[in-house]
Amino acid sequence: MIAGWETLPSALAAHLAISAAALALALLVATPLVLLMPGRPWLRRTVMGLASVVQTVPALALLALFFPLLVLLRNLTGLPVPSLGLLPSLLALALYALLPLLRGGAGGLAAVPDSVRDAARAIGMSASQRLFHVELSLAAPVVMGGVRTAAVWTIGAATLATMVGQESLGDLIFAGLQLQDWQQVLLGCVAAAALALIVDGALGWCQRGIAERRWAPAAKGLVLLGLLAVGVTGWWLHSRPATQVRPVLIGTKTFSEQYILAELIAADLRAAGQPTGVRSGLGSGIAFQSLAAGGIDISIDYTGTLWTQALGRSDVVPRADMLRILTEQLKSRYGVTVAARLGFENAYALAMRRADAERLGVRSISDLARVSAKLKLATDLEFLSRAEWMAMRSAYGLEFASMRAFTPVLMVAALKDGAADVITAYSSDGALAGADFVLLTDDRGALPAYDALLLVAPGRDDLARRLARYDGRISVDAMRIANWQADRPTSKRSPAEAARWLATETGLQR
């Protein structure tokens, strides 16, 4: 079975639902604006200009911007405004759909011949009668064209809602990209494309029926939309477990280690009779905020990341002190419990090809600083904006000839093929088990510890007690090998298969 197939019904249903809801909300906003535009050129210019500006913002950035805006709204009003998942996705996608709706509506009305308006005025029709009985009727085919465009754009952009904690077909795409599981990527892409094509075809029939003043094509389109909604909903309901107990949701970030550990914990909980689900592909800050808000129940995070992002600290303290302070502060500030320290560290590091390091005489980051101005650096997507990079650059005076951001798996490929000379790596990276790389020593102690932790959401002490048995059970060597099983280019294992190996290796298998 193709990886991700078992989650396809749920992801497809969620994708269709958020796309439909966003399009409906955009229609509610666009309709009165379009109706007010005739005779008000200033309003048309203003609204179209604002909608065009929104459209220039990349969809992913628009989704991400709603997170801090909703957090600010919650802090100012004291209302329980959700900043992750459904609400930011709905608002961002609705904004993204506005421009084609506005252009379709305004363009359709503008295309109505003046002679038709004059004729309607000559027979005594009022302005509202002309608008609703004549102009909108003639403009309807163009309006439907705008609706079709907005629908296709929304379905495509909804794949990015994964990054703010909203389930969608993007879950399959992002997980597949990270794991280099191209079948899973293709499954997510084909499902999203098929959904867009079906919706576009159905709306095309509706548009044809309106243009030709015939009900048959329009009825076909409406029936197809109805069958799509019923079919996807039915498939999702059929695939759900019989139990109605709320599943425990495990959130993951966008790299293999997180997927493997999530599958390990999920299999453990299922063996104990607890339904589980995995919300994959969350951004680093989004994952913790979602946990603190109760959007997910369990996450895997790292002491250094929590130190800078959750506590806002940049100082470097001994490992034991960092763990103690984090345990206390996460509980008192956010209600989040540290259930277990897994036993390995996934620390940031810099890595080079062994041959290059030996040729240049580089063993530590201090050595690298002597030659870095001639070298190309590749980092993960967030490192250059993190406090760790600022601390490392300040401590060592690092300057590179070029710096580019990649997904973690492509970052390793960039080092292998010469597109980069140095990469940011992780001490538990599976690539270190399968490539001739060398990690450079942080000889000035610029980077904090990155012990892997199991965190549980507020009010889930039952989960904290159940997960306490993971404390100290996974070594860095075992985690590195498990990661390599999922990352290696040949004979790859799925995260679930790597998790089963890890459970047996560490004795965590029940």
> What's the Rg (C-alpha) of the chain?
27
Of 2-11, 115-124, 319-328, 440-449, highest mean pLDDT: 319-328
Whole-number pLDDT of residue 454: 94
Q: What is the pLDDT of residue 349?
A: 82
| pLDDT the model gives residue 510 | 63
Q: Give per-residue pLDDT as tens, 284-317.
A: 677 888 888 887 899 999 998 898 888 888 787 8
Read off the pLDDT of each residue in 416-423 and give the average, rounded to a whole number: 85
- Average pLDDT across the chain, whole number: 84
Distances (CA, A) of 373 to 60, 230, 370, 419, 443: 32, 60, 8, 16, 19
Nearest partner of 231 among 242, 219, 239, judged by Cα: 239
For residue 134, what pLDDT is reported? Answer: 67
How do residues 484-510 score in pLDDT, each as one tens digit? 888 776 677 888 888 899 989 888 776
Measured between alpha carbons, how far is 68 from 39 in angstroms, rounded to an integer? 38
- Give the percent of the chain with pLDDT over 70: 91
Residue 126 pLDDT more than 70? Answer: no
pLDDT at 328 over 90: yes
pLDDT confidence tier of residue 432, bands split at 50, 70 and 90: low
pLDDT at 341 over 90: yes
| Over residues 316-341, mean pLDDT | 91
Please state whether beta strands 276-279 and 248-251 pair in parallel, antiparallel, or not at all (unpaired).
parallel
Contact (Cβ atoms closer than 8 angstroms) between residue 282 and residue 84:
no
**What's the full length of the chain, in residues?**
510
Looking at residue 419, its pLDDT comes to: 86
The CA distance from 293 to 459, in Å, is: 11
Band the pLDDT of 244: cuts 50, 70, 90: low
| Confidence bin at 7 (pLDDT 50/70/90) | confident
Give the pLDDT score at 501: 92
CB 43 within 8 A of CB 37: yes
Model pLDDT, residue 361: 92
54 with 62: CB under 8 angstroms? yes
- 451 beta partners: 345
Mean pLDDT for the stretch of residues 321-342: 92
Cα–Cα dist 41/33, whole Å: 12
Q: What are phi and psi of 274, to 5 degrees?
A: -100, 115
84 SS3 class: coil
> Does residue 442 contact residue 349 with C-beta atoms inside 8 Å?
yes
Mean pLDDT lowest among 63-77, 412-426, 443-457: 63-77
pLDDT of residue 29: 93
Contacts of 356 (CB under 8 A, 6+ apart): 362, 421
Whether the per-residue pLDDT at 146 is higher than 90: the answer is: no
Mapped to the 3 state alphabet, what secondary structure does 236-292 carry? HHHHCCCCCCCCEEEECCCCHHHHHHHHHHHHHHHHCCCCEEEECCCCHHHHHHHHH
Region of 113 (left: φ > 0; alpha: ψ -120 to 50; beta: rest) is beta
With beta carbons less than 8 A apart as the criterion, state whether 193 and 223 touch.
no
Spatial neighbors of 113 by CB under 8 A, at least 6 apart, are none
pLDDT in tens, 16-44: 999 999 999 999 999 899 888 877 888 88
Residues 264 and 503 sit within 8 Å (Cβ to Cβ): yes
Rounded mean pLDDT, 233-237: 86
DSSP 441: B
- Dump pLDDT digits (tens) for 87-106: 888 999 999 899 999 988 88
pLDDT score of 81 more than 60? yes
Domains and CATH numbers, the chain: 5-239 (1.10.3720.10), 248-345+449-506 (3.40.190.10), 348-440 (3.40.190.120)
pLDDT at residue number 489: 67
Residue 348 has pLDDT above 60, yes or no: yes
| Consecutive H or E run containing 379 | strand 376-379
From the number of C-beta atoms within 10 Å of its C-beta (0-12, 13-18, 19+), residue 51 rates as buried
For residue 357, the surrounding DSSP H or E stretch is: helix 354-360
| Model pLDDT, residue 340 | 92
The bridge status of strand 248-251 relative to strand 422-426 is unpaired
Please state whether 180 falls in left (phi above 0), alpha (psi between -120 and 50) or beta.
Answer: left
Token digits for 255?
């790299």
CA distances (Å), origin 341, targets 131, 355, 502: 67, 35, 16
